[in-house]
Amino acid sequence: MYLQSQVEEPINLPFRLVSGTIGQGAYAFIRKACPLKDVKPIIAVKFINKEQAFRIGRLTQKKLENEVILHKHLGKHQNIIECIGFGGDPSWLWIQMELAEGGDLFDKIEADEGVGDRVAHLYFTQLINAVSYMHDKGIAHRDLKPENILLSGGGNLKLADFGLATLFRHRNIEKRCTTVCGSPPYIAPEVLAQRSNKKGNELESGYQADKVDIWSCGIVLFVLLVGNTPWDEPTMNSYEFMEFVKLEGRTTDELWTKLDSSVTSLLRGMLKLDSAQRFSLQEVRTHPWFTERNPYLDARGRIANPVVLATQMLESLHIDFDSKPTFTPHRMDAMDMDQPQISMTQPETLVGEMSLDWERVPHFQEGVSLSQPTDIRSGGTISHSLLSYLAEDPSLSQFTATPAVPLTLTQQARHFKDIMPSFSLTRFVSPRSLTLLLPLLKEAMHRLGIPATERITDSGAVVEVKTIDGRKQALAGAILVERYNNELLEVRFLKKKGDPLEWRRLFKKVVILCKDAIAVPEH
């Protein structure tokens, strides 16, 4: 279940585990579960290895308990993952949560492109609804970023991971926070600007946690719209941020030129350097862009037509095999990973091998006719019937010249999840043998300047990946190569740490470098 752990796996659980791993971090993993004597409801359970959390994550028992207490205190909200319960033993803490059946939101957004204005408006509205609810209860999240934004089976936004949450208001008394925490591309400048040399990661004067959340929401909106963050970090070490400050938000950066004036006005208000002048949530809610009508939203703030939305989002994902990947090699040494300067829910230190017990993607039936083989660019052969059958897999449409939802799905779909897969879309299938495909993957990683180690498994192979992404943040995971059927191998890119858009960006680069080995469905 958890390869790195030197302690026994948790036993005598008050629920029954019903899946392989669906998420993994430096000292935690997530699996699906259900009641001991029933098959429903299906929930998610996060298992935290205490010893590793204390030693590697530099957490304390109090900090672990704080995550559970604050999450439980939030109760139910349609845009927040509900904490159902928790428990533990001497070695493990487990948190029972609502299952985000729709998977990661930002896994379904094209890197460097983003989503349309109305889709961004939809998810931003739901994010603001979730954060407003938290703030009304006196709780700030302090780690708002794509990694922590999930989807329900209906496609609605679900805010997750409250490991850095704090109670900033109690009995109408507000406190200023002192811990430097968050992810640099999404963090507010006042959190970094007042760092004290004497107190390590404690601030001299503190900051307002609710205003920090508003800044982060503004960065998330920017990423929804353009598929990238505006800067690496809000300090003068970043040219983009320095220009933003110097020109008072009227930057000439090409990412900002993609935005219309109305949403740019909202972003400038949310990204005011002086937190006292920064928009409040009420000012965000009354801004003209926020109050615009959205055909995707119903009166309750939920998705009005999930099938249409899922279709638009799926068809916006596309990989251009003729494009040339950019090479921005980053070396990650032990010092880079072992010396985090900012508190994070998943530390920069990444240890242990990726779990092999990952939940499998639903596969198509085996035994498809092998007659009428077709030559594909890989130099191998694959039957016409299987190529046509692969066309029914919505996650593979991104490799076609004109991505489209399979007709059979559009005719039968009733829900968001009927169109948009919940599993990660960073995957492909290949007719190459393992002995031919594995060197191609390793060569691609080498050309990208990314260290990668391989190991052969009973079902195929695993290539471990650890690097620094384009925004100078840790990015790690594994490439799992397993048998798909008797004609194909399946290659899945499973993220362990880092930004989902950066992970997709890496996936696209590797795919382009390995394009001759990829089976493209027929439409």
What does the pLDDT look like over 158-210, one tens digit per residue?
Answer: 999 999 999 999 998 999 998 888 999 999 999 987 665 445 555 567 899 99
Which band of pLDDT confidence, cut at 50, 70 and 90, is reported for residue 10? confident
Taking the C-alpha atoms of residue 228 and residue 469, their distance in angstroms, rounded to an integer, is 12
Determine the Cα–Cα distance for residues 370 and 352; give it in Å rounded to an integer.
40
**pLDDT computed for residue 198 by the predictor:** 42
Token digits of residue 110? 């094209």
Question: In the predicted model, what is the mean pLDDT of residues 110-133?
Answer: 96
Average pLDDT over residues 269-283: 97
The CA distances from residue 24 to 4, 298, 353, 393, in Å, are 11, 34, 11, 25
Residue 261 is inside which H or E element, if any? helix 261-270
Whether 82 has a pLDDT exceeding 60, the answer reads yes
Q: Where are the beta strands (DSSP E) in 217-297?
A: none
Q: What is the DSSP letter of 316?
A: T
In the prediction, which pLDDT does 523 show?
55
46 known ligand binder:
yes
- Averaged pLDDT of the chain: 87
Please state, as a whole number, how many other Cβ atoms lie within 10 Å of the Cβ of residue 303: 25
Contacts of 39 (CB under 8 A, 6+ apart): none
Mean pLDDT computed over 246-271 = 94
* CATH class (in words) of the domain with range 334-517: alpha beta
Q: Are 519 and 489 in contact (CB under 8 A)?
A: no
Q: What tokens appear for 92 in the block?
A: 């493990």
Task: Identify the CA nearest to 45 among candidates 79, 73, 78, 81.
Answer: 81
What gap in Å lies between CA 141 and CA 131, rounded to an integer? Answer: 8
Q: Which entry of 104, 107, 143, 499 is annotated as an active-site residue?
A: 143
Q: Which of 396, 305, 267, 389 minimizes the C-alpha distance to 119? A: 305
Residues of each domain in the chain carrying CATH 1.10.510.10? 103-304
**CATH 3.30.310.80 spans which residues of the chain?**
334-517
User: What is the model's pLDDT at position 326?
Assistant: 75
pLDDT of residue 199: 55
Cα(36)–Cα(90) distance, integer angstroms: 22
Q: Can you tell me the distance from the alpha carbon of 316 to that of 310, in angstroms, rounded to the nearest whole number?
A: 10
In the CATH scheme, what is the code of domain 16-98?
3.30.200.20
Mean pLDDT of 72-98: 96
Predicted pLDDT at 327 = 63
* pLDDT score, position 376: 41
| Residue 340 pLDDT exceeds 70 | no
Helix (H) or strand (E) holding 71: helix 61-74
Cα-atom radius of gyration of the chain, to the nearest Å?
23
Domain 103-304 bears CATH identifier 1.10.510.10 = yes
pLDDT digits over 509-518, tens only? 999 999 999 9
For the packed helices 117-136 and 306-315, what is the interaxial angle rounded to 10 degrees?
Answer: 120
- Please say if the pLDDT value at position 356 is more than 70: no
In the chain, where does the domain assigned CATH 3.30.200.20 lie? 16-98
Q: Is 143 a catalytic residue?
A: yes
Query: What's the confidence (pLDDT) of residue 27?
Result: 85
pLDDT (average), residues 311-319: 95
Q: Report how far apart, in Å, the C-alpha atoms of 520 and of each of 53, 321, 398, 412, 474 are.
A: 42, 11, 9, 24, 31
